[in-house]
Amino acid sequence: LAYDERGEGLPVVLLHAFPLNRAMWSEQVEALSHKYRFITPDLRGFGESSVMPSATMEEMARDIASLLDDLGIERAVIGGLSMGGYVTLAFYRQFPQRVRALILADTRAQADSEEARLNRERMAERALREGAAAIAEEMIPKLIAPQTIAERPEISERLRSMVVRNDPQGIAAAQRGMAARRDQSDLLAQIRVPTLIIVGREDQLTPPELSATMHREIDGSTLVVLDGVGHLSNVERPEEFNRALDQFLSGL
Ligand code: MLT
């Protein structure tokens, strides 16, 4: 498992979205590593981490637990965006005692509909047949708000360069892992740690209503909705995302 570690203090693990890599957190690490110890892994099959034939959310969560073992960290803040959020919930279910606090960004607790599962299988096969560039073409317009696409072409380019470096086998395994993921809705009411929920108001993939549901179910959670932002809230509006993150972490 490839990862970066930067800063000192409270350990904060941030898990990236599909089909990106740990570089998507660079603005958070850059801005806040003078206050917190950030650990940003590439999930299995992405970036510089090994490709595995299977990539369930539970397996990815166990990878993170092993990484924390290696680093000698018993408890950490665990956070993730979208797929990273699915892994975060799977981590909490398996290792609640290792979680100091949760960050759930642009994600959902529900499992996939049958239609979404079929679409994932189609995309897995497309990745294997046509390569990662085809997945970049398909995904990037869904990841960021139309205004971001129109006005900030450098963001699309940055995302593209992350996607195309991924192995198609890793992309396919993660799509199948996400299709197989369990519904975590029943877990929400059992969460007993401080939880920050962040979402972009224009998120098409995990719309704000899904975050509002998590906020209702997770006792004492904080919900932050960022205007003019799509699915990749931390990349599209780093300053606002960082403000919410810092406010949350500094209060722990
Ligand atoms: C992500 O951003 O991680 C993915 O779009 C999540 C998903 O496909 O459900």
Model confidence over 126-182: pLDDT tens digits? Answer: 999 999 999 999 999 999 999 999 999 999 999 999 999 999 999 999 999 999 999
pLDDT for the residue 11: 98
Average pLDDT over residues 229-239: 97
pLDDT, residue 72, reads 98
Q: What is the pLDDT of residue 24?
A: 98
Backbone angles phi, psi at 76, to 5 degrees: -145, 160
Percent of the chain with pLDDT over 70: 100
What pLDDT does 229 receive? 93
Atom of ligand 1 nearest to the CA of 142: 5
Q: Which residue has the tokens 């959670």?
A: 221
Residue with tokens 């029943």: 186
State whether the beta carbon of 144 lies less than 6 angstroms from ligand 1.
Answer: no
**d(CA 166, ligand 1 centre) in Å:** 15
| Band (41; pLDDT cuts 50, 70, 90) | very high
Which of 83, 181, 204 has the most ligand 1 atoms within 8 A of CB, as the residue to mutate?
83
Nearest CA to ligand 1 atom 7: 83
Query: What is the layout of strands, in order, in the sheet containing 3-6?
Result: 3-6, 37-41, 11-15, 76-81, 99-105, 195-200, 222-226
Structure tokens at 178: 């996400």
Q: Which helix (H) or strand (E) holds 12?
A: strand 11-15
233 ligand 1 Cβ < 6 A: no
Give the pLDDT of residue 15: 99
Predicted local distance difference test score (pLDDT) of residue 171: 98
What is the 246 CA–ligand 1 centroid distance (Å)?
24
Say what the pLDDT of residue 127 is: 98
**Closest approach atom of ligand 1 to CA 108:** 9
Atom of ligand 1 nearest to the CA of 143: 2
82 alpha carbon – ligand 1 mean position (Å): 5
Q: What is the pLDDT of residues 72-125, one digit of tens each?
A: 999 999 999 999 999 999 999 999 999 999 999 999 999 999 999 999 999 999
* Mean pLDDT over the full length of the chain: 98
Instruction: List the Cα angle 230/235/240 in 5-degree steps.
Output: 85
The response to whether residue 178 sits with its C-beta less than 6 Å from ligand 1 reads: yes
The pLDDT score that the predictor gives to residue 4 is 98
Share of the chain above pLDDT 90, in %: 100
**Residue recorded with tokens 């179910």:** 217
